[in-house]
Amino acid sequence: MSEQKVILCVDDEADILELFKDEFVDGGFKVLEASNGVDAFEIFKSNKVDCIVSDIRMPGGDGVTFVKTVNEHGTDIPIFLVTGFSDYTAEDLSGLGVNAVIFKPFDLEEVVEMISNTVKKPL
């Protein structure tokens, strides 16, 4: 039996976190949650995480700074950034090793399928 994959979802909007959590749990994933990048990094340090889905703009620690900090720890896990508005260009974000940038409003089922398929791919 394969080990349950863990997705860390980071967003300051509780309803977005709940949507992602419900969908990923229904898909067989374990979901860890944080409301900002600082808290997310603490969770990341103390848990095995297979994927990160993070908002970009959040008070208390933005998603880009969080991703940069994660990258400093030499991880190569899939990272997806979610945004309604960003000060960053696609080139800026692709330079961070981000798998995809998801723009709000988004089709939840499409996004969950894309992320699930990425996480379930064999190494």
pLDDT tens-digit readout, 69-87: 999 988 889 999 998 876 7
In a domain, 101, yes or no: yes
Q: Are strands 30-34 and 51-55 parallel, antiparallel or unpaired?
A: unpaired
In a domain, 31, yes or no: yes
In a domain, 103, yes or no: yes
Number of domains present in the structure of the chain: 1
54 CB-side CA count, 13 A? 30
**pLDDT for 40 beyond 50:** yes
Neighbours of 3 (CB within 10 A): 8
In a domain, 45, yes or no: yes
In a domain, 1, yes or no: no
Q: Which two tokens stand for residue 36?
A: 């900002």
Query: For residue 107, what is the domain's CATH number?
Result: 3.40.50.2300
Tens of pLDDT, residue by residue over 10-31, are 999 999 999 999 999 999 999 9
Domain that holds residue 27: 6-120
Enter the DSSP assignment of 85: S
In a domain, 81, yes or no: yes
Enter the DSSP assignment of 60: T
